[in-house]
Amino acid sequence: MTERPLQLGAQTELPASPETAQLDRVPNPHADTDYVARFTCPEFTSLCPVTGQPDFAHLVIDYVPDQYLVESKSLKLYLASFRNHGAFHEDCTVAIGKRLAGLLAPRYLRIAGYWYPRGGIPIDVFWQTGTLPAAAWLPDTGVAPYRGRG
């Protein structure tokens, strides 16, 4: 994989779509250590592919890096590129997980997508790859399941 110049420190336009978004990786300075890095996106937005109405989710991405880390500015831009992208909840959540796994080849990666109700039904989507190393501490995602008014 050819490394492109990082977007970090440069003027960067919001990508038009997830497919055109550039995700950057940087070397992991602690590749000899099992640890969990967490990214939380409490205001993720995409579009319903049928109605075009906005969908909202709280995403939690946990991974145990190997040789690479995801660069956070590029991740923010990538996630923001879904704002005008039409896809179902399951597709968005799993596609993000697979794209990160393909870029980083982490020892472990888990994404939890807590989607706000659409048509009265909340949809939570979870995907993971790899096995959590025994030495790594993985806390709960910290997101309560949807309870409505109950």
Q: Where are the beta strands (DSSP E) in the chain?
A: 25-27, 37-47, 54-64, 68-70, 108-115, 124-130
Check the CA dihedral 45-48-49-52 and report its sign. negative
Instruction: Establish if 58 belongs to a structural domain.
Output: yes
* Domain interval for residue 105: 31-130
Is 14 part of a structural domain of the chain?
Answer: no
| Domains identified in the chain, total number | 1
43 vs 7, more confident: 43
* Residue 81 within a domain: yes
Instruction: Return the structure tokens found at 77.
Output: 């831009």
- The whole-number pLDDT of residue 3 equals 66
CATH assignment at residue 118: 3.30.1130.10
Task: Report if residue 44 sits inside a domain.
Answer: yes
Q: Is position 67 within any domain?
A: yes
Tens of pLDDT, residues 8-46: 877 888 999 999 999 999 999 999 999 999 999 999 999
pTM above 0.85, yes or no: yes
Average per-residue pLDDT in the chain? 93
Please return the burial class of 3, using the count of CB atoms within 10 Å of its CB with bins 0-12, 13-18 and 19+: exposed
pLDDT of residue 115: 95
User: Per-residue pLDDT tens for 123-142?
Assistant: 999 999 999 999 999 999 99
State the catalytic residues: 48, 55
Q: What is the pLDDT of residue 109?
A: 98
